[in-house]
A and B are shown apart, each in its own frame.
Chain A
Amino acid sequence: DIQMTQSPSTLSASVGDRVTVTCRASESVSRWLAWYQQKPGKAPKLLIYEASSLESGVPSRFSGSGSGTQFTLTISSLQPDDFATYSCQQYNSYSSATFGQGTKVEIK
């Protein structure tokens, strides 16, 4: 199975900061990578699909990049509503899906 590793596990930042979260796959997943935002007690919400495509309704301060084994989620200017946990997920393998362990973005 493909393993997904995120870094860092926790990130402390302030409102207005530029934030970057990294996701690495154990083998190439091409561009089949999604990012989700999850708040405590809530279901994950799709932010980015196909590595860099913004889901409808998601603010443009969120962006994704990468291909193969290295991917990045960037928040250009962190807003109060953005403090949450972010998870990557590969869907290159048609018969399975794998999530990263999550990155918690907390208030500095």
Chain B
Amino acid sequence: QVTLRESGPALVKPTQTLTLTCTFSGFSLNTSGLCVSWIRQPPGKALEWLARIDWDDDEYYSTSLKTRLTISKDTSKNQVVLTMTNVDPLDTATYYCARIRAVYYYDSGRYHGAFDIWGQGTTVTVS
């Protein structure tokens, strides 16, 4: 059974650095095609993709937040960590981690995959 669980501080002060941890089980991030992303959702608003790390250590970031985000993985601990620097009250949101099971498609010549398994989310307030 695949599960993901987010953890981190519930309250952070403006300008501080936020560190969130996604601990997963049921798969290995060393396996080809598997990726983990972070997604957030401010209260009453839409989902916003933040970052992704792939099985081959490639990293991808939201264009609007890339200067503030760092994603990393520890495959021995089955964890993915997201750090966000210089937080602001606008960063108040529920933060989710989610797995992507990407498949290589020859017609496009690329990997594609949706977020098939999500964690329960962790709520972070910046105040």
User: Which residues of B79-127 have CB atoms within 8 Å of chain A's CB atoms?
Assistant: 96, 98, 100, 108, 110-116, 118-121
Complex Cα gap A42–B114 (Å): 18
Stretch of B14-22, B23-31, B43-51, B68-76 contacting A (4+ beta carbons < 8 Å):
B43-51
Interface size grouping (class) on chain B: 20 to 34
With a CB–CB cut-off of 8 A, which chain B residues contact A43?
96, 98, 118-121
Q: Pick the contact of A99: B46, B60, B112, B118 (CB < 8 A).
A: B46
Q: Pick the contact of B60: A87, A95, A98, A101 (CB < 8 A).
A: A95
With a CB–CB cut-off of 8 A, which chain B residues contact A87?
46-47
- State whether A49 touches B114 (Cβ < 8 A): yes
With a CB–CB cut-off of 8 A, which chain B residues contact A34?
114-115
B5 CB, min distance to chain A CBs, angstroms: 11
Residues 43-79 of A, flagged 1 when their CB comes within 8 A of B and 0 if not, give: 1111001100001000000000000000000000000
Q: Which residues of B contact A (CB under 8 A)?
A: 37, 39, 46-49, 52, 60, 62-63, 96, 98, 100, 108, 110-116, 118-121
Q: Which residues of A contact B (CB under 8 A)?
A: 1, 30, 32, 34, 36, 42-46, 49-50, 55, 87, 89, 91-92, 94-102
